[in-house]
Amino acid sequence: MSTRRPRPDIDALARRSLRLIGALQTTEGAYPASPTFSAYVGYSWLRDGAFIADAMSSAGQVDSAGRFFEWCADVVLRRAGAIEWIVEETSAGRRPPAEHMLPARFTFSGDDGTDDWWDFQLDGYGTWLWALAAHLTRHQLDPAPYREAAALTARYLLASWERPCYDWWEEHAQHVHVSTLACVAAGLDAAASIVDTDLSADIRSELTAIRRLVMTQGIGGGHLLKWLGSTAVDGSLAAAIAPLGFVDPHSEVARRTISAIESHLTVEGGVHRYLGDTFFGGGQWPLLSCFLGLAHLAAGDTGRANALLDWAASTATDDLDLPEQTPGHLIAPGMRQEWIDRWGPVATPLLWSHAMFLRLGIALGRIDVEAITTDGVAQ
Ligand code: BGC
């Protein structure tokens, strides 16, 4: 049974999204992934948080986004010793085991979690740098307070980017994922404008290596692939086109990647993560509809981007909460109940879903930032 409603009020949902994210941001600056979902309560992810901050920054919430980036900087600076050790060990040819790499999510006070998790994920370390640089440019802010944390993060990524790790979906740790590489490259590229010249030169040469690797092993059938050497596509790859800009939106690779995501993973406007997804039955993710919408918009198809925004908005509950995924079209219906029994109902609201709705709606000009805020603050 679908929770989708026929004609959502974009304006009301935008106000609600802004208010929800603003109200749930913690005093430390972290954005919780979801306030109620059992497995996420008490944690902030770099990946979710960076995209949430990017949306808040686009919505003129300069203070909120800035507080998140300060939280990220603190998280990284507190791990300076671990990062130096990882960099040294790696350069001495002793690759640290995955359990010694930095985690994907943190408690609100910036500590490592105490529950077991699929923690070794590199994408969030690139994504926070990318979102930070976009925020500094958008609001013409001074990068100096972030220089040290950006340099440490960049050195961690330079030492580690070639390693297999868990992907956006915290799965398939044995592979090198193309959307992870896109996040890492976007973050390194962004950091190059913040850090000192020597590090910046190292970054430039490594960026060439990342691109070469993706172009030789990360493309098949003309489109980006889920992981190096795979043949499949993944919904997260839309982000490589926009907002990350790793792939030129007018290129043939972008055109074919969008087309593969549309034909393999999209039903109406709802985008699946990948074929073979069984998490809560493998439903459609409104946040991925928004990423695909951003890619279409960057490539010039405003009509399709608008339709994807409408689809994402239509997944809101009567209380205007956006879920992580919807059960309208499931890849593995038999697996849904197993996850409900394990973790409870699908995460709702998911702040990342609200953020991506805001981000696409603002990019399309369908959300009027001035109208939904007063004195720059969500009302
Ligand atoms: C998703 C991740 C996400 C996390 C928190 C997981 O189920 O696979 O992409 O970062 O939830 O929202």
Per-residue burial over 260-299, b = 16 or more CB atoms within 10 Å of its CB, e = otherwise:
bbbebbbeebbbbbbeebebbbbbbbbbbbbbbbbbbbbb
**Plot region of 241 (φ>0 → left; ψ -120 to 50 → alpha; else → beta):** alpha
User: Residue 255 and residue 263: Cα distance in Å, rounded?
Assistant: 12
What CATH number does domain 10-367 carry, 3.40.50.720, 3.40.50.620, 1.50.10.10, 3.40.50.10420?
Answer: 1.50.10.10
167 has catalytic annotation: yes
Radius of gyration of the chain (CA): 19
In whole angstroms, what is the distance from residue 166 CA to residue 125 CA?
A: 13
For the CA of 43, the nearest atom of ligand 1: 5
Positive or negative, the CA dihedral 83, 152, 164, 68 is: positive
Measured distance CA(49)–CA(39) in Å, rounded: 16
Q: Where do runs of H (alpha helix) occur along 25-110?
A: 46-58, 62-77, 80-91
Whether 360 and 312 have beta carbons less than 8 Å apart is answered as yes
Q: Is residue 324 annotated as a catalytic residue, yes or no?
A: yes
Atom of ligand 1 minimally distant from the CA of 47: 10
State pTM to two decimals: 0.97
The pLDDT value given to residue 2 = 47
User: How far, in Å, CA of 116 to CA of 139, rounded?
Assistant: 38
Which is the catalytic residue, given 54, 119, 123, 170? 170
What are 138's two structure tokens?
A: 């958008």
Under a CB-based contact definition with an 8 Å cutoff, are residues 49 and 364 in contact? no
Residues with CB under 6 A from ligand 1: 33, 40, 45, 47-48, 168-170, 350, 352
Helix 46-58 with 351-363: angle, nearest 10 deg? 40
Per-residue pLDDT of the chain (379 residues; tens, 9 = 90+): 444 455 679 999 999 999 999 999 999 999 999 999 999 999 999 999 999 999 999 999 999 999 999 999 999 999 999 999 999 999 999 999 999 999 999 999 999 999 999 999 999 999 999 999 999 999 999 999 999 999 999 999 999 999 999 999 999 999 999 999 999 999 999 999 999 999 999 999 999 999 999 999 999 999 999 999 999 999 999 999 999 999 999 999 999 999 999 999 999 999 999 999 999 999 999 999 999 999 999 999 999 999 999 999 999 999 999 999 999 999 999 999 999 999 999 999 999 999 999 999 999 999 999 999 875 566 5
